[in-house]
Structure 1
């Protein structure tokens, strides 16, 4: 009996002691100095108009440290697609950094017509701000029209605004939209002055380091070098002949051929640098300056540098994907990227930074090139579409010019037309669809308010739905036949649902990234949530994407 009582007493004492220790451990803060494991710097590298196949088309010609390094050291999601249409620059940059789609973000194109205000809108226009470093309209820009937060915004919030965010691009939209609403700075290029500028949304004056950089007028340095091929022109076997009538001719030149003389632009036309590979060189050089001046990646609080290389887009629009100019631009960009990575290795430290590479959209082959090789392609004219449509609708419904414009593959009706209330609007839209389906170059059309009822293939239906914003979009959407687009006879454009426009690179390299690849289908909207998962921060407010678990679960 005594032994039983003694044993019970000991058990009770042990229980009390254990409970006291447990209570103490739950109320006493940890004294460990361990911090959350994050990279020192995240770099988002978006190459404007980079088709996915460019990763491999010029692979044998790339140097070891650029695109080839990303492929061989990094992780590639090989089948990454844009999940909406139309596929334009502003929308692509927005969706990469928000993990969202135009239906949610409000960025439905580079430009659109706002039916609420009855005005045309440019994606980053903001009349309430003024330029900083600029006295012209180029500085009156901000992310005001962007309704969702970005992954860069979320990093700022997660670090209580201690982590720095910088956006850089020749294009305002390529800098402003990735940098989000709350960056340390967003800077873009003013082609009128040759300076990098910002707006009062961000600051009252340019930082000293950028003022000093602007004084160098770097465009002049590269103009004086002219633009010849990096290697002997006969070695550009992945491209068509140099002189093709479906390539655009630069003003002042007689043919679209190398060498391209640039010295005439020195000190006179700073905007021309955009349409040469040197625009990318200047952008990545400025990125190095920003890293040093802003001390990015120097402490344990993660910073974010969002860089968009835009010259690839300008060159592609003028000369097309199969031109020697396009090939040379990518070979030069590859060397610039290799130099940039080498700089990151030396300053931030290899393994201390995380970088991703993607594109805002791809590009179609030039119709002239396709036809030359007996493939289906052609052009449509938006103005001709509207003229013919209005003639048809006027005769049928006795209403003058009911269709106001064709924009972003959408027919926008004039809802302020005094005769519109007397018209059966559903019948008007159905008649429009019937007309568009007979138009040469148009494959199909759909009522944007009734997409779910259409008989479109699932992929087209989903992409149109994701691109449809109930407040901002038009009334009827038309789908062009493959390799048809609205434009001139030279150069290319983009905007379609087809893989040549929607299949984009998606490669991660650096911090916590093991070499590998996946052929599972992913989307542009998966990039932001993947970064969020790796950094252990919240996804952007409009996010619809999913983390690329093949990477995050390595």
Structure 2
């Protein structure tokens, strides 16, 4: 009885707090910065201008200890989890790509051959959100308003646009074959005039005629390692250090994604969207989701301690300042709410850490799978027992095992025992363990469990030692683990209904969508498992 009473009091206090706030925002803007670490706000913070990140932090609410609570920490599951309020176990987006046993092939998270590209002749628009198994906060907004709200999602990456837009929003992404923004016939049969006119401005060619040099004197970038550190990768095989003269790159529209100009052109599209649409002009809350992808491409090339990444965030700070200024102009101060987070963070470059006497290294997955196959053949006979390997997961051939009358769990356990002894492997779990044995909120098994989807995940999953990544990648570094360097991301709230403050309490990324539901007084997304960011409401 006492527990029920306390819950009721807490529930009423939240909603009394809600009722005391301003009217619902006319517009919500969700900003996702691909691969952004929380610590960038601190390491680069003294160089941010007043109108960008500092405005969000000084006049809004900062959650300093926001984490992803599942594996793998990648772009598609990150965006899906932010907007659905749940994890891959429920929403089904278990990676950027995964193996689909029933189809016997690898699939891409938003691929859909049933639809065509709108805006170009390429196949880069054959996309839809059909593999997303739960509703998003943007879906719930549309359902609540009975499709009178406007939902617009944009990114350089298709998955960064499609997943936040949900099932009923509009989504636009960058086609690197032509340098324009496109969409899919899932959404419409013709680009809106404002997008067509934006493409006709030829901004991509204009940006690619420029030279990327540091925004300030390169000697002032003391928060980063030296330029052209030996651990970094070159850009397009042409450049090893500043300046990057992009005019030397001919007919490669994709390279803009590896420079801050990729963020610039997306911010330009955002401004154009506000100039050419009536967002926040009626009684129904609208929503714009924008995902900055260039930071991810640059981070993979150069790593989190590079001058390239520092410069990218100093420039992104200017983009955000310009976006907030445009929102003030078009929607009005106090009429909109902004949240900013990331779809994952990133590991330091292992070679950089090795060079600085840290104990990291590389794991040779191809070699280890080959050796494991030989061991399985020796024990069970010659056959292709491992049907597929992706995302640090192994998929066994269930039909073959049943045909040979070999117990699936027995082979999975054997593989797990083998991998436990492999150098570089820290954790190994079988699907049976994940499904049948207990796990806690913070342990690694819990992160695997929340990322495990019964229809889409493998039979054995493993995690490297901290700081290790798979060898042979074309990238200098990557992300995907359950360690803090991949899970710890920024969480900023600003605007209508948001008080000033900060919190060091640990929260999960899945708490964003339920909090938005309470701020907007609408239904929770269908699969939501996150909790409220209570400190936004209570004292």
Provide TM-score, normalisation by structure 1: 0.91
User: Paired residue for 1:397, among 358, 377, 380?
Assistant: 380
- Structure 1 residue runs of 5 or longer lacking an equivalent are 1-34
Which residue, out of 350, 354, 373, partners 1:371?
354
Counterpart-to-counterpart distance in 1, 2:66 and 2:427: 25
Q: Distance in 2 between matches of 1:371 and 1:162?
A: 55
1:537 aligns to what? 522
- Report the equivalent of 1:327: 310
Residue-pair matches, total? 517
Query: After superposition, what is the alpha-carbon deviation per residue over 1:30-70, rounded to whole angstroms, capped at 9, x for unaligned?
Result: xxxxx992101000000000011111110011111111111
The Cα shift of 1:377 comes to 1.0
Matched residue SS, 1:349: coil
DSSP 3-state at the match of 1:189? strand
What SS class does the counterpart of residue 290 from structure 2 fall into?
strand
Q: State the alpha-carbon separation in 2 of the partners of residues 475 and 344 from structure 1.
A: 48
1:465 paired residue among 449, 469, 472 = 449
TM-aligned CA deviation for residue 503 of structure 1: 0.8
The alignment status of 1:483 with 2:467, answered yes or no, reads yes
Pick from 216, 225, 230 the counterpart of residue 210 of structure 2.
225
Contact residue 59 and residue 494 of structure 2 kept, 8 A:
yes
* Equivalent of 1:78 in 56, 60, 64: 64
Structure-2 separation of matches of 1:399 and 1:165: 54
Counterparts of 1:277 and 1:168, CA distance in 2: 17
**Which residue of structure 1 aligns with residue 3 of structure 2?**
none
Residue 168 of structure 1, aligned match among 126, 139, 154? 154
Which secondary structure does the structure 2 equivalent of 1:354 belong to? strand
Q: Do the aligned partners of 2:69 and 2:442 also contact (CA within 8 Å) in 1?
A: no
What is the alpha-carbon distance in structure 1 between the residues aligned to residue 60 and residue 217 of structure 2? 31
Q: Within the alignment, does 1:508 sit opposite 2:490 as a pair?
A: no
Could you list the runs of 5+ residues in structure 2 that have no partner in the other structure?
Answer: 1-20
2: CA distance, partners of 1:115 / 1:292: 46
Q: Which has the larger radius of gyration?
A: 1
Q: 1:261 aligns with which of 245, 251, 254?
A: 245
CA deviations on 1:381-438 (whole Å, 9 max, x unpaired) are 2222210110111112224231133211111112343775332322211110111111
Q: Secondary structure at the match of 1:187?
A: strand
DSSP-derived class of the 2:443 partner: helix
Residue 148 of structure 1: aligned partner: 134
Cα distance in 2, alignment partners of residues 107 and 383 from structure 1: 25
1:69 aligns with 2:55: yes
Q: CA offsets, 1:67-108, max 9 Å, x none? A: 111111110111111111011100000000000110111110
**Comparing 412-421 and 439-448, the one that deviates more:** 412-421
Is the CA contact (8 Å cut-off) linking 1:530 and 1:552 kept in structure 2? no
Residue 225 of structure 2: which of 235, 240, 246 is its match? 240
Q: Which residue of 2 aligns with 1:137?
A: 123
Per the TM alignment, residue 196 of structure 1 is displaced from its structure 2 partner at its CA by 0.4
Aligned partner of 2:287 among 288, 291, 304: 304
Return closer, same or farther for 1:308/1:487 CA change in 2, 3 Å cut-off: farther
Aligned partner of residue 520 in structure 1, secondary structure = coil
CA RMSD of aligned residues (A): 1.7
Q: Of 86, 89, 102, which aligns to 2:88?
A: 102
Which piece of structure 1 moves more, 90-99 or 459-468? 459-468
Task: Deviation per CA, 1:156-202: give whole Å up to 9, x if none.
Answer: 1111111100000000000000000001x110000001110001110
